[in-house]
Amino acid sequence: MSQEGNSSDRPAGQDPLLLLKTLQLLWTKKEMKKLKEEIRRGFAGLEDPLAGLLDMLESSDDWKGKGHSLGYYISSELQLWMKEHPAVQQSGMKLKKLQARVFRVLDQCPANLLDPLISIYQLHTADRNYLLGHVSHLYHRGDYKEAAILSIKLKLQSDQDVEKMCAPLLFQDKINLVEDYVGEHPELQCRLLQILDTWCEPDFNIRDMARQYQGLSRYKPDKLNRKMLSKLIFRLLDRFNVDPALCPNVINQRHLRTLNYLFYKRFVEKTMTQENWTDHVQSTVGENRWLQGHLIQLLLRYCDLNTAARWAQRCNLPEEMLPSEVADELQKLEIQERVEEATKEENYKEVKKKDYYQLPIPRANIHLLQNWEDMMQCCEKVLQPGQIVGIDMEWRPSFGMVGKPRVSLLQLAVRDEVFLLDLPRLLEQAEVKGEKEKLPHIIQMLYSDATITKLGYGMSGDLSSLAATCSTLKGMDKQSQSIVDLLTIDKLLQKSPIDWKKGSLKVDALSPEQSCEDEGLRQPEKGLSLLVQHVLGKPLDKTEQMSNWEKRPLREEQILYAASDAYCLLEVYEKLCKNPESFGLSSDLSESLVRKPSVKPRAKKQLNKQEVPSPSGQQCRGSGKELSRPPAPISPKEFSVVCDNMLQGLGRYLRCLGVDVRMLENEDDHRKAAEIARQEGRVILTSGLPYQTLQSQVGEGRCFSVNCSEKAKEQALQVLKHFNVHVTLADIFSRCQVCNCDKYLKVPKERMRQLVEGSRNSMGDNSTGCPTSCEEKPGQTCSTAQPTGTALGERLESTGSCGADVGLVGGTALQVAAIPPGVLDKAELTDFYCCTRCGKVFWEGSHFGRVVSQFQDILVSTGDEQRVYELS
């Protein structure tokens, strides 16, 4: 500080090192307002502020660690100050000398200090070869992450080898950094995907590749396997919108997994007909000889020689590709098999007539509409005021491939008639005639007409696929009126006190291909089929559900199935309205029936936020009678979840916010999540295909599908908002990040110093019990919102390793040996906190501020907590 009245004493701000001492004192005292004023006054008094900053950084080590530091704070303030005083900016040789000094600082610079230094010293204007040389120096030193971050900041990617830069990052599980590296460079994105695809070749050895890079930290060879690489490639293909043909190896592997799935559906679950299965296998294998060879091996595993031989003949495989026994069987195919197959198919049809729902209308009343002349009759009957219309849609199964399904058939059922609209044909004809909006306009008229009652089952999923088919129909769910979604009734029936019999249906004859399956029990009915069984007495026959609905012409079985799916809605609705009490429902069904479409169980995406239209079609918003309300707010302590094994990052985020989290291990089966959820009352958090399996094994609303393309932080925000979990500052780090325990033991610093020294002297003797002065408070979490003696803006910091040297009374090993040297010498620390379950040691640090900054949008603060947050 300046000495007023003494001209011989130079103000402290004019000497960078004297200024630094002043700033360090203010930083230690956390007098942030004075610190900011002193920084600005000090830089104004320096002859060369840019050189002064480097003097400070070169003479201090506090900025080299992670998190916010005094060096970062000074640099950021200088950056802001320079915008107000542009005259201090340097150029020419003087700037080049400063840039040369900066590069020595960058060698040990944390990521958050890069942006201020790059801006202050105009590193983007430095010689590009010099910049590349510095990055190369970091790279060959083994600082792969630092080299990549600096390359991104300085935009050097176009002059670098993408494989050389990204490979070590992948081995260190720095996938997000790899995505950032190629994010703005389409040519690098394609090159990266090609490289990753070559790693998926059968003979490629990833461990050999890893040996090329020395000094890899945190490398886990088993984690970077082909399965993980495949998931990563498909996610990047979708994110970067790159042609999948660029990655033939991973595409072949995906098709091979599809083949295995089809064999499981056909021969293990027995839920696909032979014809549908055959059609999907043909489209999956195509002309790919590699896949055809694997198909023959699967047929030998699940079927017999005869079946494998017939497929070899169908694929026209050369004899040298076939196992010898299959080649021999090719010569023994006989016509008699075809006759037997035809007989079995007839028997199967007879069983279906007896045991499944049958259309009560003649075949002549089912109209397949493939041209606009036939559409006029449909419009006249369907668009009549007062009409009741059953609506369903069909599309080709996607089996997890990229892209949304497009509707191939739209079914409209009215009394005594069903209209099947061939959407691809009708849309194509309309476009040729220049009437592209004609069909979407008719569909919009139907859904928006309040005088026409529309029946469906899980209509949100159908409307989403309809919007993907025709972009004009996006947002139609908000315009829909008089919607009756029978999925709502299905949910009410499941809660009804009436004991419905849901037993399996025994079949006496099965579909063809008897050589590959045995007779047995069908899977229990579910979804619309189960509702039809409840109300009408017989379930729907769903064997045509997974047909290839894009293939033309449609088979007769497909036409009858599609018509039944729509017409049964009329009969269910009519019977429920006549006598709802007999089904355990309220006599007035209007409130529970007429609402916004619900999500169909087979829909692949969960709609989390829904606006519920009233029976008149108006949206219910905050006033009047509400048909649905958001869940009541709960605290993290009241919210317990089990995370599927692909969501461990999400689990760690939720746990640091105070949520009770159990996480499956990588080797655990997905179904273990349902077992844990039922036993412990937890909500399942999962993603992708496992959601369909898991949601059927727990109660309604107890399974949630997160967006797997989002990062873990965004997934955590999605979960908290969906379940209305209100997080306060007191919840952050209220649970041990290692074992999920919410009980801590408070140990004074001096006692901890004694334990550490005693542990070292006794060479790791773990027999010492915790003394009475270390009082354990059962049921009390280490509340970081109001800890005694805790400095504002700081919270608990964990040790990084697991040395255990002192035992607690309950037998838990207290990990005092893991406390780094120097921590006990920090003057601001007064207490340590130890997990009573695993013995992990925590102390006050900077993690809390980082978590608050990441989740500030959803934090719920009290007055005191708000003060802490503002100062942190």
Q: How far apart are CA 686 and CA 342, in angstroms?
A: 44
Residue bearing the bigger pLDDT, 405 or 333: 405
Which residues, including other chains, have CB under 8 Å from residue 483's CB and lie 6 or more apart? 447, 454, 456, 459, 594, 595, 596, 597, 613
* pLDDT of 113: 84
Q: Cα–Cα distances in Å, from 499 out to 216, 493, 584, 588, 696?
A: 61, 10, 10, 21, 19
| Over residues 390-403, mean pLDDT | 82
Q: Which one is predicted more confidently, 211 or 366?
A: 366
| DSSP symbols for 314-377 | HHT--GGGS-HHHHHHGGG--THHHHHHHHHHHHHHHHHHHHS---SS-GGGEEEE-SHHHHHH
Report, as an integer, the average pLDDT of 20-42: 89
Q: Which of 194-198, 557-561, 829-833 has the lowest mean pLDDT?
A: 829-833
What angle is formed at CA 551 by the lines to CA 550 and CA 553, rounded to 5 degrees?
125
- Rounded alpha-carbon distances, angstroms, from residue 87 to 40, 53, 196, 352: 15, 16, 49, 87
Instruction: Report CA-CA distances (Å) from 841 to 314, 770, 781.
Output: 67, 14, 14
Q: Please provide the distance, in angstroms rounded to a whole number, between the alpha carbons at the two ends of the chain.
A: 26
Per the CB < 8 A criterion, the answer to whether 702 and 677 are in contact is yes
Token look-up 């499941």 returns 494
pLDDT value at 382 more than 90: yes
- pLDDT tens digits for 624-636? 333 345 678 899 9
Q: What residues have CB less than 8 Å from 653, skipping those under 6 apart?
A: 712, 713, 715, 716
Contact 587, 581 (CB under 8 A): yes
Give me Rg for the CA atoms of the chain. Answer: 34
- The DSSP bridge partners found for residue 303 are none
Are the CB atoms for 483 and 459 separated by under 8 Å? yes
Confidence band, pLDDT 50/70/90 cuts, at residue 621? very low
Between residues 385 and 764, which one has the greater pLDDT? 385
Rounded average pLDDT over 857-866: 62
Task: Dig out the tokens for 754 from the structure.
Answer: 């004694």
Question: How many CA atoms are closer than 13 Å to the CA of 629, on its beta-carbon side?
Answer: 8
Residues 192, 148: Cα–Cα separation, whole Å: 14
pLDDT score for 379: 93
* Count of other CB atoms within 10 angstroms of residue 181: 23
> Could you write out the three-class secondary structure of 254-269?
HHHHHHHHHHHHHHHH
d(CA 194, CA 144): 21
Q: What pLDDT does 12 receive?
A: 43
**Separation of alpha carbons 623 and 610, rounded Å:** 16
Residue 537 backbone class (left: φ over 0; alpha: ψ -120 to 50; beta: rest): left
| Banded pLDDT at 807 (limits 50, 70, 90) | low
The secondary structure element, H or E, covering residue 742 is none
512-521, 576-585, 680-689: the lowest-pLDDT one = 512-521
Residue 65 has a pLDDT of: 62
The residues that bridge with 392 in the sheet, in sequence order, are 411
Residue 545 CB: number of other CB atoms within 10 A? 20
Lowest mean pLDDT segment, chosen from 175-179, 307-311, 346-350, 777-781 = 777-781
Q: What span, in angstroms and rounded, lies between the C-alpha atoms of 837 and 842?
A: 13
Contacts of 753 (CB under 8 A, 6+ apart): 824
Q: How much of the chain exceeds pLDDT 90, in percent?
A: 29
Taken in order 470, 475, 479, 481, the sign of the CA dihedral is: positive
- Give the length of the chain: 872
Q: Are 743 and 781 in contact (CB under 8 A)?
A: yes
For residues 691 and 646, give the distance between their C-alpha atoms in angstroms, rounded to a whole number: 12
- Span 363-494+526-592 CATH architecture: 2-Layer Sandwich (3.30)
Residue 571 CA to residue 101 CA, distance in Å, equals: 82
Contacts of 89 (CB under 8 A, 6+ apart): 82, 122
Residue 13, pLDDT > 80, answer: no
From 76-85, 329-338, 429-438, 696-705, the region with the lowest mean pLDDT: 329-338
> Exposed, middle or buried by CB within 10 Å (0-12, 13-18, 19+), for 678?
middle
Look at 456 and 343; give whichever has higher pLDDT: 456
Least confident window among 80-94, 166-180, 251-265, 509-523: 509-523
Q: Tens digits of per-residue pLDDT, 720-772?
A: 999 999 999 888 888 998 899 988 888 898 888 888 888 777 654 443 333 33
Give the residue ranges of DSSP H helices in 451-511: 459-469, 476-479, 486-495
Hey, what are 375's tokens? Answer: 């559409």
DSSP at 505: P
pLDDT value at 30 more than 80: yes
pLDDT-based confidence at residue 872 (cuts at 50, 70, 90):
very low
Residue scoring higher pLDDT (189 or 92): 189
Q: Taking the CB of residue 87, how many other CB atoms lie within 10 A of it?
A: 5
In whole angstroms, what is the distance from residue 361 CA to residue 571 CA? 12
- Residue 8 scores a pLDDT above 70: no
User: Which pLDDT score is estimated for 589?
Assistant: 61
Q: Please say if the pLDDT value at position 519 is more than 50.
A: no
One-letter amino acid identity for 515?
A: S
CATH number 3.40.1350 given to 636-727: no
Beta bridge partners of 231: none
Asked whether the beta carbons of 812 and 838 are under 8 A apart, the reply is yes
The half-sphere exposure of 306 on its side-chain side, counting CA atoms within 13 A, is: 11
* Residues 589, 488: Cα–Cα separation, whole Å: 10
- Find out whether the peptide bond into 248 is cis, omega within 30 degrees of 0: no
Average pLDDT, the chain: 80
Distance from C-alpha of 609 to C-alpha of 620, rounded to nearest angstrom: 14
Q: Is the pTM value of this prediction over 0.85?
A: no
| pLDDT of 810 | 65
pLDDT of 840 over the 70 cut: yes
Q: What is the mean pLDDT of residues 110-118?
A: 85
- The answer to whether 871 and 756 have CB atoms below 8 angstroms apart is no
Q: Give the residue-averaged pLDDT of 140-144.
A: 86
Q: What is the pLDDT of residue 716?
A: 92
The SS3 assignment for 487 reads helix
**45 — phi, psi (to 5°)?**
-90, -10
133 pLDDT higher than 70:
yes
Are the C-beta atoms of 524 and 504 separated by less than 8 Å? yes
Residue 508 has pLDDT above 50, yes or no: no
For 522, residues 6+ apart whose C-beta sits below 8 A from its C-beta are 270, 504, 505, 506, 507
Backbone dihedral angles phi then psi of residue 201, each to the nearest 5 degrees? -65, 145
The H or E element that residue 171 is part of is: helix 162-171
* Residue 403 DSSP symbol: S
Tell whether the model's pLDDT for residue 441 goes beyond 60: yes
Q: Write the CB contacts of 688 (distance below 8 Å, at least 6 apart in sequence).
A: 400, 646, 705, 708
Q: Is residue 32 packed enough to be buried (19+ CB in 10 Å), middle (13-18) or exposed (0-12)?
A: middle
- Nearest CA to 52 out of 98, 118, 85, 104 is that of 98
| pLDDT given at position 504 | 36
How is residue 812 annotated by DSSP? P
Percent of the chain with pLDDT over 70: 81
d(CA 367, CA 457): 22
537 three-class SS: coil
Class of residue 523 by CB neighbours under 10 A (exposed 0-12, middle 13-18, buried 19+): exposed
- pLDDT bucket at 260, cuts 50 / 70 / 90: very high
> How high is the pLDDT of residue 806?
64
Q: What angle do CA 756, 761, 767 make, to 5 degrees?
A: 75
Question: Identity (one letter) of the amino acid at 656?
Answer: C
* pLDDT, mean of residues 417-426: 95
* pLDDT over 50 at 614, yes or no: no
Extents of the domains making up the chain: 16-248, 266-332, 363-494+526-592, 636-727, 744-858
Q: In the prediction, which pLDDT does 182 show?
A: 92
Q: Are 516 and 303 in contact (CB under 8 A)?
A: yes
